[in-house]
A and B are shown apart, each in its own frame.
Chain A
Amino acid sequence: MGIAAMLGSPIKRREDPRLITGHAEYVDDIKLTGMLHMAVLRSPYGHARINNINTEAARNQPGVVAVYTAEDLKGAVGDIAVAVPLGQMTEGMGIRKPLAEGKVRFFGDPVAVVIAEDRYTARDARDLIEVDYEPLPAAIDVEKAMQADAPLLYEQFGTNVAFSMHPPTEDIDKVFEQTKADGGVVVKERIVNQRLAPVPMETRGVVAEYHKAHKALTIWSSSQIPHLLRNILAATVGLPQHQVRVIVPEVGGGFGCKLNVYPEEIVAAFASMRTGHPVKWIEDRSENLAATIHGRDQVDYIEVAATKDGKVTGLKIHGISDLGAYSQLFTDVIMIAFGFPVSCGAYDIPNIYLSGDIVFTNKVPTDAYRGAGRPEATFIAERAIDLVARELGKDPAEVRRLNFIQPDQFPYKSAAGAVYDTGNYEAALDKALEIADYKSLRAEQAHRRASGDGKLMGIGISSYIEICGFGPKGTAPVGLYESARMRIEQSGTVMVYTGSSPHGQGEETTFAQIVAEEFGIPIENVLIMHGDTDSTPEGRGTYGSRTTAVGGSAVYTAAQRLKEKMKQIAAHMLEASASDVTMEDDKFSVAGSPQKSVSFAEIALAANLSNTLPAGIEPGLETTVFWEPEACVFPFGTHICVVEVDKDTGEAEITRFIAVDDCGRQLNPMIVQGQVHGGIAQGVGQAMFEGVVYGEDGQLLTGTLLDYAMPIASELPSFELDHTVTLTPVNPLGVKGVGEAGTIGSTPAVANAIADALGVAHVDMPFKPENLWKVIHQS
Chain B
Amino acid sequence: MTMKREITVTVNGKQHHSSVEPRLLLVHYLRDVLDLTGTHIGCDTSQCGACTVLLNGESVKSCTVLAVQADGSEVTTIEGLAPEGSLHPIQEGFWEKHGLQCGFCTPGMIMASYQLLKDNPNPTEEEIRKGLEGNICRCTGYQNIVRAVQYAAEQMRTGAAEPVGAGE
Listed in ascending order, the chain A residues whose CB lies under 8 Å from chain B are 12-13, 15-17, 19-26, 28-29, 31, 62, 120, 199-203, 250-253, 255, 284-286, 503-506, 670-671, 673-675, 677-682, 704-706, 710-714, 716, 718-719, 742
Q: Nearest chain-B residue to A679 (Cβ)?
A: B141
B145 interface hit (Cβ, 8 Å) = yes
Residues of chain A lying within 8 A (CB to CB) of residue B128: 713
Kindly report which residue of chain B lies nearest to residue A504, judged by CB atoms: B102
Given A250-B103, A670-B98, answer yes or no on A285-B110 (Cβ-Cβ < 8 Å): no
B23 near A120 (CB under 8 angstroms)?
yes
Contact A21/B141 with A253-B102, A505-B101, A674-B98 known, Cβ cut-off 8 Å? no
Q: List 6 A-B contacts (CB under 8 A).
A: A26-B104, A253-B138, A285-B44, A670-B98, A710-B136, A714-B133
Q: How distant is the Cα of A200 from the Cα of B42 in the complex, in angstroms?
A: 9
The distance in angstroms between the C-alpha atoms of A642 and B98, with both chains bound, is 26
Taking the closest CB of chain A, its distance from the CB of B151, in whole angstroms, is 12
Q: In the complex, A704 Cα to B143 Cα: how many Å?
A: 25
Question: In the complex, which residues of chain B have a beta carbon less than 8 angstroms from the beta carbon of A706?
Answer: 45, 47
Cα(A779)–Cα(B51), bound, Å? 46
> A37 → chain B, closest Cβ, in Å?
10
User: Which 9 residue pairs of A and B lie closest in terms of their CB atoms, listed nearest first?
Assistant: A22-B38, A252-B104, A19-B103, A504-B102, A681-B141, A677-B141, A22-B78, A705-B47, A504-B101
Greatest chain B CB density within 10 A among A62, A203, A680, A712 is at A712
Nearest Cβ distance between residue A709 and chain B, in whole angstroms?
A: 10
Query: Are B47 and A62 closer than 8 Å at their CB atoms?
Result: no
Instruction: Give the residue of A62, A251, A711 whose beta carbon is less than 8 angstroms from that of B102.
Output: A251
Q: Does B122 contact A (CB under 8 A)?
A: no
Chain A residues in 8 Å Cβ range of B133: 712-714
Q: Flag if B139 contacts A19 (CB, 8 Å).
A: no
Stretch of B54-62, B67-75, B87-95, B157-165 at the chain-chain interface: B87-95
Which of B50, B87, B96, B138 interacts with A710 by CB under 8 Å?
Answer: B138
A736 to chain B, nearest CB (A): 19
**Minimum distance in angstroms from A392 CB to a CB of chain B:** 35
In the complex the two chains form, what is the Cα distance from A31 to B35 in whole Å?
9
Asked if B45 and A20 make an inter-chain contact with CB atoms under 8 angstroms apart, the answer reads: no
Q: Report yes or no: B95 in contact with A13, Cβ–Cβ below 8 A.
A: yes
Q: Does B154 contact A (CB under 8 A)?
A: no
B66 at the interface (CB under 8 A from A): no
**What is the minimal beta-carbon distance from A668 to any residue of chain B, in angstroms?**
9
Q: Are A678 and B141 in contact (CB under 8 A)?
A: yes
**Nearest chain B residue, comparing its CB with the CB of A198:** B138
B136:A674 contact, CB within 8 angstroms? no
Q: Nearest CB to that of A24 among chain B residues?
A: B103
Task: Chain B residues near A505: list those with CB within 8 A.
Answer: 101
Q: Assuming A200-B138, A674-B98, A705-B45, is B91 touching A20 (CB within 8 A)?
A: yes
Chain B residues within 8 Å of A675, by CB: 101
Interface centre among A15, A21, A504 (most CB of B within 10 A): A21
CB-CB under 8 A from B132, the residues of chain A are 712-714
Q: Check B42–A15 contact: CB distance below 8 A.
A: no
Which residues of A sit under 8 angstroms from B24, Cβ to Cβ?
A: 120
Name 18 extra pairs, CB < 8 A, besides A250-B103, A503-B102.
A16-B103, A20-B100, A23-B79, A24-B38, A28-B31, A201-B42, A201-B138, A252-B104, A285-B43, A504-B102, A504-B103, A674-B139, A681-B140, A712-B133, A713-B137, A713-B142, A716-B142, A718-B125
Closest to A670 in B: B98
Q: In the complex the two chains form, what is the Cα distance from A504 to B138 in whole Å?
A: 11
Q: A677 near B144 (CB under 8 angstroms)?
A: yes
Q: Are B95 and A17 in contact (CB under 8 A)?
A: yes
Report B164 CB to chain A, min CB distance, Å: 13
Report the minimum CB–CB distance from A200 to chain B (whole Å): 6
Residues 22-44 of chain B, each 1 if its beta carbon lies under 8 Å from chain A, else 0:
01100000010001111111111
Docked complex Cα distance between A250 and B35 (Å): 17
- Shortest C-beta distance, B167 to chain A (Å), equals 19
CA distance A62 to B39 in the complex (A): 30
B102 lies within 8 A of A200 (CB): yes
Q: How far is the CA of A24 from the CA of B129 in the complex (A)?
A: 26
A13 CA / B38 CA spacing, docked (Å): 19
A286–B45 alpha-carbon span in the complex (Å): 9
Question: In the docked arrangement, what's the CA distance between A682 and B142, Å?
Answer: 11
Contact A201 B137 (CB under 8 A): yes
- Write the chain B residue with the least CB distance to A289: B43
Alpha-carbon separation in the docked complex, A713 to B21 (Å): 36
B142: nearest chain-A partner, CB-CB: A713
Q: How far is the CA of A460 from the CA of B102 in the complex (A)?
A: 31
Chain B proximity of A705: nearest CB distance (Å): 4
B103 surroundings in chain A (CB, below 8 A): 15-16, 19-20, 24, 250, 252, 504
Identity of the chain B residue whose Cβ is nearest the Cβ of A714 in the assembled complex: B129
Instruction: Tell me the complex Cα distance, A377–B96, Å.
Output: 37
Instruction: Find out whether the CB atom of A253 lies under 8 angstroms from the CB atom of B37.
Output: no
- Tell me, yes or no, whether B105 is within 8 Å of chain A by CB: yes
Judging by beta carbons under 8 Å apart, are A201 and B101 in contact?
Answer: no
Cβ–Cβ contact B21 & A719, under 8 A: no
A202: chain B residues within 8 A (beta carbon): 40, 42, 102, 104
A201 to B101: give the CA distance in the assembly, Å.
Answer: 11
A252 near B91 with CB under 8 A, answer: no
Contact call A678/B140, Cβ cutoff below 8 A: yes
Contact B87 A20 (CB under 8 A): yes
Contact with A677, one of B48, B96, B140 (Cβ below 8 angstroms): B140
- Considering only CB atoms, which chain B residue lies closest to A742 in the complex? B141
- CB contacts (< 8 Å) of A16 on chain B: these are 94-95, 100, 103
Chain B: CB-nearest residue to A254: B102
Q: How far, in Å, is B23 (CB) from chain A's closest CB?
A: 7
CA distance A680 to B141 in the complex (A): 7
> Closest approach, in angstroms, between the C-beta of B24 and any C-beta of chain A?
8
B residues in contact with A671, CB < 8 Å = 98
A671 to B144, CA, bound (A): 11
Of B43, B77, B94, chain A has the most CB atoms within 10 Å of the CB of B43
CB distance from B124 to the nearest CB of A (A): 12
B37 near A25 with CB under 8 A, answer yes
Complex: A476 Cα to B144 Cα, angstroms: 37
